[in-house]
Structure 1
Amino acid sequence: MDRSMDRARRAKELVANKNSMIYMDLKDIIKDHALPFLPAKSLFRFNGVCKDWKLQIRSPFFAHKQSTSFFDVSGFFFSSISTTPSFISIDSKAYGVPDPSLKFLPEPVDIRASSNGLLCCQGREGYKAYYICNPVTKQWKKLPKPNADHGSNPALVLIFEPSLLSFVAEYKLVCAFPSLDFENGHEFEIFSSKEGSWRISGEIFYGNGSLLPRSGVHVNDIIYWHSSHGRILVFDLKMERAQLLYGNDYYNGEAVLGVIDGKLCSTRAQGTGVSISVLSNAYTNTMQMGSSAKTWERKLTINLTPAPQPGTAGSTGSLLFASGNMVLYRYDTKFHSYNLRTKETRCVGEGHYQGSIVPHVNSLVEI
């Protein structure tokens, strides 16, 4: 009887030990393989789970791993000339920044561009210096003064593509600006964090019309900007060559450029929703007359409630952003987001019309 009870006790201890090992393995799996795919705000909350998790989340290696694993648009910075920046979170429980007004920077700024967790801001005083910062960690760097005058509202594109092989955040800032020496010409100035300096490209593009600030999109070493005449200015970073591209029924600020499945997309309000098209042929303007090749191919049409109404940028119902899995538009004074993956529409905030929207990825990337 005693022996049978002893065997039963040992069997229970063996099962308990096995369950304990399973639990420990699962905890390690979550710590090493799940946490890096979470947004920064959620990770800050998990600092209190245990000491092991706290040490993991606060390590520079983990910050680097998270910046190469998490890429979802988490929200949008909204700013105007008369107000300080504010943050519109897609999900306030999961995404956020500690100082949405960016008061940790040495002067008041306007947000010009963003890329995978980094923001490009421009000071409002003096020569209006550029700053690169991470609003999550409050780390920032002031860039050297450009060689050229970029104007009062520069057409900038920030390029940051995290890599597991590089622990240093390497980025580029590209500005297309009206030439002071060549009439109807646009020039391009490029800042490289690797070189730590600005360089003006030898390429000059001639054509009437101005570029729309904050319309720039980077796809596979090529940058695209909307122009005021409904065309798209294309700048190849590798070849440093520029050309014009026909827009996707673009009119007076109605369409927005983005990236879906690694391709340039153009989204516009249509009917009770939006129509999304992807670039299928960038060279139709050089092909012979009568060619059946199309510049854009319609990818999908989405019905939305409430529906964004076609109109000028900044008007009621204007389309503000469409890239990745996210569409953001304004109806009256409210901002609405639509997730292409979950097909969920939600009201995420409210704001006045005279302002600009810049997307943000809740990343721990260190500058």
Structure 2
Amino acid sequence: MEFSQADYMNDDSEGWDDNSPTIFKGFSSAITTQRHCLEKLADYGFKIDAYQNHEFPTHIIREGDKKIKDVVKEHVLPFLPAKSLMRFKAVSKEWDKWIACPLLSHQQSFSCQSFSGYFCQDMKMGWDTETMFLSLDHSTSGVPCPALDFLPEVVKILSSCSGLLLCQGSEKYYVCNPATQDWKMLPLPQCYHGEEPAVALAFEPSLRNIEAYYHVICAFPMLGQPIIGFEIYSSESNTWSCSSAYCTDIENPRLVGGGFYMNGVAYYETKSNEVLAFDVKVEIPAIISLPDQVGRRGSLTQMEGELCYVAANNECGNVFLIDIYQGMEMILKRTVSVNLGPDRSFTQACKVLPCVNSDAVAIHSGQYIHFYHISEQKVESIASSFTMGRGKKFLPYTNSLAMLHELKEP
């Protein structure tokens, strides 16, 4: 495994080039979208008198001689995106050492799960495609090398999960962390996955997952048969294994693009109105039927911790109709009509993009990506250099310091 985190830790965060678009509707800071515990901590004044008057939670002030900088270091830094953390290296040598510490990387990987932006490629360009990163907030979230030039060859992006990316070279798969430029080349699989493999990266940072184990799950059609097989890579053993499970109930065995993983299950869209689900732990496949009317402009997404399928249609002018289907039964939970502006007399094609750890619906239309926040009923937009069209791939990304598991020699 190649490892360049030390070089990354010496980079100035201001030097990161993340191809960030111009934001024209004031996208709110990513820091304010962190977990509720950080928001709760922000309610306390970071002043010496506040600390002395015991305005902080009791679990923070157990040590009577703890300084305010130590409170921030221990209870705020783990909740910040990777790019924001780099700016705090200059506070002191102690902080510089702490931010480079694997323990903080582990804490930050499961504490900071906010949606940071998209990695995107134009897949119609083949191997000549350029990888770009669209940040939702250039000041807080970004990567030092959005083109992924630190990898040993040109790659196609396939799947993302909790700050890690799964990519495909001419023959090999790569798992990398774009924020740290840490990467690992996977061994060759046993089965043929096809030229456009349906693979999902599964990574769940947690207090228990200290070793940062992850899996890659490929769903592939059996040659000449309407059957889907599964092959699973485990970083713990650094091996691929063919699952004994098969899916024979699917209407159309042709799968679309990379997979989507959440809460222990990998999901794959198909050419028919079905979603293939695969429970990674018990290795059991299942079929989720989508409503006939959703068409091909929808997307699987994660909303408020649940699996959703969101479809959108430009009804007239700048008015878009959003349908949100939720749960394993894919029941229509909500229909929203929203004005995405600017005013125009014609309709545009649109495509829903996947989101993670957010209540927002992302709609790609023309040269913009519009985010409709369900709870706030607010629309925010970013400019995209990718115009709406087929073959455009957008992977949701979390700006994480997650470290890749390295298999120890026996």
TM-score range, shorter chain: 0.7 to 0.9
- 1:60 paired residue number: 102
**TM-aligned CA deviation for residue 329 of structure 1:** 2.0
248-257 or 33-42: bigger deviation: 248-257
Give the Cα–Cα distance (whole angstroms) in 2 for the partners of residues 91 and 361 of structure 1. 12
Is 1:122–2:149 an aligned residue pair? no
> Which residue of the other structure, out of 103, 124, 135, is the alignment partner of 1:89?
135
Q: Give secondary structure in 1 for the equivalent of 2:237.
A: coil
Distance 1:220 1:266 in 2: 16
Higher Rg? 1
Distance between the aligned counterparts of 1:225 and 1:30, measured in 2?
A: 41
Partner of 2:336: 301
Report the CA distance shift for 1:252/1:129 in structure 2 as closer, same or farther (over 3 A).
Answer: farther
**TM-score normalised per structure 1:** 0.82
What is the aligned-residue identity percentage? Answer: 34
- Whether 1:145 aligns to 2:188 is yes
Given the alignment of the two structures, is residue 77 of structure 1 paired with residue 123 of structure 2, yes or no?
no
Distance in 1, Cα, partners of 2:279 & 2:210: 26
The structure 1 residue matched to 2:238, chosen from 153, 171, 196, is 196
Report matched runs for 1:86-235 at 5 Å: 86-123=132-169, 125=170, 128-180=171-223, 183-206=225-248, 207-209=250-252, 210-214=254-258, 216-235=259-278
Q: SS where residue 245 of structure 2 aligns? A: strand
Offset at residue 42 of structure 1 (A): 0.6
* 1:361 aligned residue: 398
Cα distance, 1:252 vs structure 2 = 4.2
The answer to whether the Cα contact below 8 Å between 1:336 and 1:349 also exists between their aligned partners in 2 is no
CA offset digits 1:65-101 (Å, max 9, x no partner): 1111001110101112232201000011111000000
How far 1:359 moved relative to its partner? Answer: 1.1
State how many pairs are aligned.
325
Question: C-alpha deviations, 1:214-269, integer Å up to 9, x for none?
Answer: 3x322332222221111111222233232322114454422211222332111111
Match of 1:316 among 346, 349, 354: 349
More strand by share: 1
Q: What is the rounded CA distance, in whole Å, between the counterparts of 2:149 and 2:119 in structure 1? A: 14
Q: Which residue of 2 aligns with 1:350?
A: 385
Shift of residue 141, structure 1, vs aligned partner: 0.5
Deviation larger for 249-258 or 105-114: 249-258
State how far apart, in whole Å, the 1-side matches of 2:49 and 2:295 are: 63
Contact 2:163 2:402 in 1 (8 A): yes
Higher relative contact order (CA 8 A, sep 6+): 2
2:368 corresponds to which residue?
Answer: 334
Cα distance in 1 for residues equivalent to 2:183 and 2:119: 17
Of 258, 265, 272, the residue aligned with 2:301 is: 258
Q: Deviations over 1:144-184 (max 9, x none)?
A: 0001111111111111001213321100100111112x511
The CA deviation string for residues 184-224 of structure 1, in whole angstroms up to 9 with x for no partner, is: 1111111011121101111222244211113x322332222
Structure 1 residues 165, 324: CA separation in 2 closer, same or farther (over 3 Å shift)?
A: closer
